[in-house]
Structure 1
Amino acid sequence: MKKSFLLFFIIIPFFNYGQSNEILDFKPGYSPETIYNQTVINSSDYEMTYSGSENLLKMLKENGTENPVKIKNLFNVETVSKTGKIGKDGNFPITIKYIKASDKDGKSVIPSGTLLFGNTTLSSMPKLDSIVGTGMEENFKKSIFQMVQSTFNQLALPEKKLKVGESFSQESPLKLPIGGINIEMIITTTYNLKSITAKSAFFDIVQSIFNEIY
């Protein structure tokens, strides 16, 4: 079974940069003692095609089952990430808080206030060590923790110099074990630099995911 969709729980990393004559020195990572507010709206399109004997396909049709089955979803995720003071070893703490995580019907998919704790450096993605959330089953809590950490572990972005209007694409493989099922993905992310100010760089980010479940 193959699907194309956007993964709502992926946390897109923030970027450190240096600026000179409107050229962005793109270096993915987090800075110490900084607050990052993030809003991500992700849409997903699922398409599943049944195959089998003529009798099976006939039975599905008689039962009113569409073939292929098409499902559209929309997820709205708001998080606040806070980093602490950098230590002598170059590490500093990071806390990621879910402010809102809802589906297309407005139903909460991750409870507000859920917290992820970990550590990071200027040159590496965060390494999480714990998750705290209320009203969540332990298995679901563990799945969120593993998925976010797996994303950080397998995310590799290049250091580049960009001018406004320029873009680049990054293709990253990702493997997630969920409830005994392995999901292998190829994530293609395109970053387009829209503008630069004294302290900020603004990107349009388009992400697509192709996956196989087995």
Structure 2
Amino acid sequence: MKKVCLLALLCLAVGQLKAQKAIVFKVKYLPNHEYKMAVSMGMKIDATLKGDQSLIDKLNAEGITQPVSVNFQFGMHADTKTGAVSSDNMIPLNMEVRVDSLSVIANGKQAPIPPNISEKSAKIVGRAGLDGLSMMIDSVAGKKTNDSTQKNMKQMMSLFQKQIKFPEKGLKPGESFTQTMPLNIPIGKDSTNKIHMDYSITYKLISVAGGKAYFDVVPNFSMNFAIKTMNISMSGTGLGKMIYSIKDNFPLSNNGNFNLDIKVTSDKLNVDGKAVVTTNSNTMIN
């Protein structure tokens, strides 16, 4: 009986040592794989309007009374296929992004959405490095990209794919790290206006089991941009969960909830609002 107990204690100790072993994580594409990502986002905004009374009266006449309540729902897919490693140690990739659904309801009324919105897709051809960090975008919708487009596309794809730059050292359960992702994305034809975004995420490794790593995710978000005479700013934080596949070097799911403060200022109308945002991203890898 004593031998059995001693053996059980020894196995438990070995198991605990293995559980505490640090794991080096990295997000990267693998050659000859297919990634099917489904992304959805929901946003519920409650806001009050101040400013030009004639404009507010016009909105009231159209049924947009205060407080304004807006429900936004969005869904999309991104399918990526990778090829064999080329002579320059890059992995060719072909991505197709398409919108599945888009709905905006203001004070119970459905906003008009073009019926063919879900029929459009963007095709992106590029290459990814074996290190998981370098990426080149060769063409978008069949058109070659210049340096400026390259930079903007890589920034947007990095945010969209939620690519994570894990620390070089390994992580043990209970340890965390923070990634910052500042973005400056031009908007408009002349690119004089830009969306400035500061986005940081703290990832905490909770556990490792069955070839998967489970993380708590705490984002902090701020964004501001101007459109003509209108300035828009948003900031907030939230809590999420991420499941990472160790063998695939890729997140399988990344879901969370945000609470945002929204301010819009213009020469005629000011908006103060709060929003609750729910995001879901799930990837199937073959």
- Greater shift, 181-190 or 60-69, is seen at 60-69
Question: Partner residue of 1:76?
Answer: 75
Question: Partner residue of 1:6?
Answer: none
Counterparts of 1:125 and 1:20, CA distance in 2: 32
Counterparts of 2:79 and 2:120, CA distance in 1: 11
What RMSD in Å do the two structures reach over aligned CA positions?
Answer: 4.0
Change in 2 beyond 3 A, CA 1:120/1:168: same
TM-score, with length taken from structure 1? 0.62
Q: Structure 1 residue 176: deviation in Å?
A: 0.9
Q: Percent identity?
A: 25
Does the Cα contact within 8 Å between 1:98 and 1:111 map onto a contact in 2?
A: no
Question: Partner residue of 1:128?
Answer: 137
Question: Partner residue of 1:118?
Answer: 126
Question: Partner residue of 2:39?
Answer: 40
Does the Cα contact within 8 Å between 1:22 and 1:196 map onto a contact in 2?
A: no
Q: Which of 184, 187, 192 is residue 199 of structure 2 equivalent to?
A: 187
Point out where structure 1 has 5 or more consecutive residues left out of the alignment: 1-18, 139-143
Counterparts of 1:122 and 1:110, CA distance in 2: 33
Does the Cα contact within 8 Å between 1:29 and 1:125 map onto a contact in 2?
A: no
Point out where structure 2 has 5 or more consecutive residues left out of the alignment: 1-17, 105-112, 144-148, 227-286
Secondary structure, aligned partner of 2:87: coil
Amino acid at match of 1:32: P
- Greater shift, 86-95 or 43-52, is seen at 43-52
1:151 and 2:163 aligned? no
Change in 2 beyond 3 A, CA 1:172/1:96: same
Counterparts of 1:132 and 1:121, CA distance in 2: 22
Counterparts of 1:197 and 1:108, CA distance in 2: 43
Does the Cα contact within 8 Å between 2:203 and 2:216 map onto a contact in 1?
A: yes
Equivalent pairs counted in the alignment come to 183
Question: Partner residue of 1:175?
Answer: 184
Q: Which of 56, 61, 64 is residue 61 of structure 1 equivalent to?
A: 56
Amino acid at match of 2:129: T
Secondary structure, aligned partner of 2:26: strand
- Greater shift, 106-115 or 78-87, is seen at 106-115
Larger radius of gyration: 2
Q: 1:49-71: per-residue Cα shift (whole Å, max 9, x none)? A: 7665xxx2x32333326678664
Counterparts of 1:195 and 1:77, CA distance in 2: 30
Counterparts of 1:48 and 1:147, CA distance in 2: 31
Secondary structure, aligned partner of 1:59: helix
Question: Partner residue of 1:29?
Answer: 28
Amino acid at match of 1:211: M
Secondary structure, aligned partner of 1:60: helix
